[in-house]
Amino acid sequence: MERTGLALESNGRSTDAALIAAVRAGSSTALATLYTRHGRMVYAVARRFLGETDAEDVMQDVFVGLPEALEGYRERGTFPAWLRRVAVRASLMALRRRSRSAVLARYATGWPVATGRSTEDRLAAREAIDRLPDSLRAVFVLREVEGYSHAEIAAQLGITRTASMIRHHRAWTQLRRSV
């Protein structure tokens, strides 16, 4: 990749800001570099909501649409945090499109409900989460797995902060009964 005109980090890599400017100017090479740099994070976010196959589709959709989405990026906060929010929104949209009978998210073994438990207990926890209604599961995953605040969850889902807190509590209540 030609680095002329791109700001570089101390390790010689282009900064995200320089790559974003290049993508906005139409550089497919810069887009490929952002994909290489941040694709795993986007995939991981989507996989928690959707499972492996659908996560790949969401990841591709996010990066194919990134040049257009960057028009709305105002460079408040970090680019990875903004991109994570884009991935969450894309995952939620994909989840809404899926039928309720589809197999749901596959969670990493280290997330809070499963920590320190046997494989059998982790599988039971995953199954319990899979059985949560979409509205409760979305809030639970955003809060417990992704670490968003209730205010951030409310903004992502278009609900109030109080509704997010109530859904989170209801999700935990249902999980306690079933695990």
Q: What is the pLDDT of residues 33-57, one digit of tens each?
A: 999 999 999 999 999 888 887 899 9
**Number of compact structural domains in the chain:** 2
Most distant pair of Cα atoms in the chain: their distance? 59
- Tens of pLDDT, residues 109-140: 334 444 445 677 667 777 888 888 888 988 99
Q: Summarize the confidence of residues 165-171 as an average pLDDT.
A: 91
Answer yes or no: do 16 and 99 share one domain.
yes
Burial class (CB in 10 A: 0-12, 13-18, 19+), 39: middle
Angle at 58 between CA 125 and CA 47, to 5 degrees: 20
**Mean pLDDT throughout 142-152?**
86
Say yes or no: 164 and 100 in one domain.
no
98 and 117 part of one domain: no
The residue out of 43, 77, 105 marking a domain boundary is 105
147 inside domain:
yes
Other Cβ atoms within 10 Å of 11 Cβ, number: 5
Domain co-membership, 98 together with 112? no
Return the CATH number at 38. 1.10.1740.10
DSSP 69: H
Among the listed residues 108, 86, 92, 96, the one whose alpha carbon sits nearest the alpha carbon of residue 42? 86
Single out the residue of 178, 46, 51, 171 nearest to residue 125, CA to CA: 178
pLDDT at position 111 is: 47
Instruction: State whether 52 and 131 are in the same domain.
Output: no
Retrieve residue 109's tokens. Answer: 């073994």
Q: What is the pTM of this model?
A: 0.57
Q: Quote the domain boundaries for residue 37.
A: 11-105
Task: Identify whether residues 152 and 170 lie together within a single domain.
Answer: yes
More confident residue, 169 or 127: 169
